[in-house]
Structure formats: C-alpha cells, structure tokens
C-alpha cells in the first residue's frame, strides 16, 4: 500500500478515489507525466514538470498550483513513500463537472501523485533485444491532437498497443499520416545505419520525450556520437543496422525484430549497448534533476 497525494492531502492508495463525474474519466480530459526516481534523485524532474504545465496550458487546464508548489508536492510524495527507486505518476484532470463536454463547467482540477515501485521490461530483453511490430493505425496528426501534449487521451496509442499485444509483442511503431516514422506507443525510436544515429524530428508528430532529449544532448555526445533529427521512412528502419527505443520506463532498449523482419544481426548492436550502459551509469550514479 502506498500514500497518494490527492487534492491537497495524503490518502492511502485504497482510499484514493475520484468522482465518476470527473472529466478525466468521462472524457480523458487531462494530462499526465511518468517520472523515475533513481537512488533518491528524481530524474529530470524540472523537465517533466515543465512538460506537464505545457500540456495543461495546451488544453487550457489550470491545476491550481504553481510549478514550484508541484515540485514540492512530488518530492514530499516520494519522501513519505520512502521510495528511493521508483516511478512517479503525476496526473491533472479537468475535475468534477456535468455530463456535458464543457470543460469550463468543472470548477476545480483534480491533481494527484502516485509513487510506486517500477515494473521494468525483463532483463533478457535488454540483452537479446525487443520484438515490435508496425501498427496499421497511424499516429494522430498534430493538427488534430498534438502528440506533444501528454494528455489522458491515449486511445490512439492504446489501440496500437492492442495490435502489438495481438501480435504477441510489447511495442508497436506508429507511422504518421504521411507514412513517415513517428514513435512507438510509449517510447521514442532511433535508428543506426553505418554508425550514424537518427531519430524522427518533433515535426513528425511525436511526444518530446525527455529520455530522447537526454540521449541526444548528453549520452550520445559523451560517447562521441551526434544524433541527426530528420524524417525517417519505414524502409530505413527495416534496413537499419540497429534500432533502439527510449522512454522513462524503458530507458534505452534495443530492438531485434520488427514484425517478420530481423534488425541487423538479430542481436542488440554495439552502439545501442554503449548508449544503454552510459544512460544507466549516469542516472544511477547521479541522476540530473533539471
């Protein structure tokens, strides 16, 4: 059992409840963040809080607290749960309202913070690589619901995830409506060809992954690599030497198979292993909280 911070107070997880009239539940109207705690340090906490407030602003949701207040709430929730290594889920919903869509009839946002232990992909998957598929369903276009908004409306991703689960794998690569590579249901994607690392640009319609940014700006340069952000076609992914995914839960994980296609040698490549090891070293030794 854990303690949940819910609308201003700590409650036991089994007592943490929101109304059936909450628009987060009725309409997926809200936003969220998933954040890691490594060795009592909250990885990229400020970046996650900033993205959370940007998501809230994009949907015109006012959480009723400042970014600094929320930072203290998150830190306090980690402290009271004694969770030196774990996963934080931060959620704003539009709050309780009527059965109509109008978000402005919900006077007060619901805010909660959950801190739990983290469920990771199995170790073998980091050694041997992960199998994924290419989802038939495209990523929702940015002019409809911009994927950079980490909203509670994840059905586009969930339906692609169902395609993955039906195919017996855990992740699905999603293309955008132009047929270009965008991202996976809960991870960003990178490819390596002839020692050059590339990843789709923000304009491909993706979440601005915080792990993605850390890998581009810190992890890869430390190892002497620069990463290109450019439009990527599916054929390039299928003919890449290495493919890897990044995400808060996944960290850096190599991909060995995409549908019926084998990636490179069918094993996790050398550069992916280097990036994965360097990422782990940095977050476990002294995770930056900026």
86 contacts ligand PMP (rule: CB under 6 A)? no
From 28, 34, 103, 288, residue interacting with ligand PMP (rule: CB under 6 A) = 34
Q: Distance between CA 194 and CA 37 in Å, rounded?
A: 35
3 contacts ligand PMP (rule: CB under 6 A)? no
From 22, 29, 171, 183, residue interacting with ligand PMP (rule: CB under 6 A) = 183
Q: Distance between CA 266 and CA 288 in Å, rounded?
A: 33
Q: Distance between CA 59 and CA 118 in Å, rounded?
A: 29
From 129, 209, 254, 264, residue interacting with ligand PMP (rule: CB under 6 A) = 209
CA distances from 44 to 110, 117, 163, 230 (A): 24, 18, 31, 25
CB of 154 to ligand PMP, least distance (A): 7
Given the complex with ligand PMP, which of 87 and 112 has the nearer CB atom?
A: 87
From 97, 129, 186, 264, residue interacting with ligand PMP (rule: CB under 6 A) = 186
Q: Which of 150, 193, 213, 267 is catalytic?
A: 150
55 contacts ligand PMP (rule: CB under 6 A)? no
CB of 10 to ligand PMP, least distance (A): 26
176 contacts ligand PMP (rule: CB under 6 A)? no
153 contacts ligand PMP (rule: CB under 6 A)? no
Instruction: Give residue 214's region: left, alpha or beta (phi > 0; psi -120 to 50).
Output: alpha
156 contacts ligand PMP (rule: CB under 6 A)? no
From 2, 199, 211, 256, residue interacting with ligand PMP (rule: CB under 6 A) = 211
Given the complex with ligand PMP, which of 106 and 170 has the nearer CB atom?
A: 170
Residues with Cβ within 8 Å of residue 20, at least 6 apart in sequence: 26
CB of 247 to ligand PMP, least distance (A): 4
Q: In the annotation, is 150 catalytic?
A: yes
Given the complex with ligand PMP, which of 96 and 272 has the nearer CB atom?
A: 272
Q: Distance between CA 4 and CA 13 in Å, rounded?
A: 6
Beta strands in 213-250 (DSSP E): 227-229, 242-247
For 99, list phi and psi in degrees, rounded to 5: -75, -10
Residues 219-278 binding ligand PMP (CB under 6 A) are 246-248
From 55, 131, 153, 188, residue interacting with ligand PMP (rule: CB under 6 A) = 188
Instruction: Specify the residue for token string 């030196």.
Output: 84
24 sits in which H/E element: helix 23-27
Residues with Cβ within 8 Å of residue 44, at least 6 apart in sequence: 35, 210, 214, 287, 288, 289, 290
For 153, list phi and psi in degrees, rounded to 5: -90, 80
Work out the widest C-alpha separation in the chain, in whole angstroms: 57
Q: Which residues in this chain contact ligand PMP in the complex, by CB under 6 A? A: 34, 157, 183, 186-188, 207, 209-212, 246-248
Return the active site residues: 150
């Amino acid at each position: 059992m854990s303690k949940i911070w819910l609308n201003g107070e700590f409650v036991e997880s089994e007592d943490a409840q929101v109304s059936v009239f909450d628009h987060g539940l009725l309409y997926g109207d809200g936003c969220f963040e998933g954040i890691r705690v490594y060795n009592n340090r909250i990885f990229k906490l400020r970046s996650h809080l900033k993205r959370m407030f940007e998501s809230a602003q994009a949907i015109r949701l006012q959480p009723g607290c400042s970014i600094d207040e929320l930072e203290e709430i998150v830190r306090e929730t980690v402290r009271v749960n004694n969770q030196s290594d774990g996963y934080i889920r931060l959620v704003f919903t539009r709050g309780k309202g009527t059965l109509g869509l109008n978000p402005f009839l919900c006077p007060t946002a619901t805010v909660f913070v959950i801190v739990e232990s983290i469920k990771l992909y199995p170790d073998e998957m980091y050694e041997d690589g992960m199998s994924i598929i290419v989802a038939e369903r495209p990523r929702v276009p940015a002019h409809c619901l911009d994927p950079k908004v980490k909203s509670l409306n994840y059905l586009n991703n969930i339906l692609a995830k169902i395609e993955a689960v039906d195919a017996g794998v855990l992740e699905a690569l999603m293309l955008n409506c132009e047929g270009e590579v965008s991202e996976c249901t809960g991870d960003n994607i990178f490819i390596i060809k002839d020692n050059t690392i590339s990843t789709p640009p923000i304009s491909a319609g993706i979440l601005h992954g915080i792990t993605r940014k850390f890998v581009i700006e810190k992890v890869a340069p430390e190892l002497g690599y620069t990463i290109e952000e450019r439009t990527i076609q599916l054929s390039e992914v299928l003919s890449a030497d290495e493919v890897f995914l990044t995400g808060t839960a996944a960290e850096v994980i190599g991909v060995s198979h995409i549908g019926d296609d084998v990636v490179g040698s069918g094993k996790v490549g050398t550069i992916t292993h280097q990036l994965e090891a360097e990422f782990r070293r940095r977050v476990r030794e002294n995770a930056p909280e900026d």
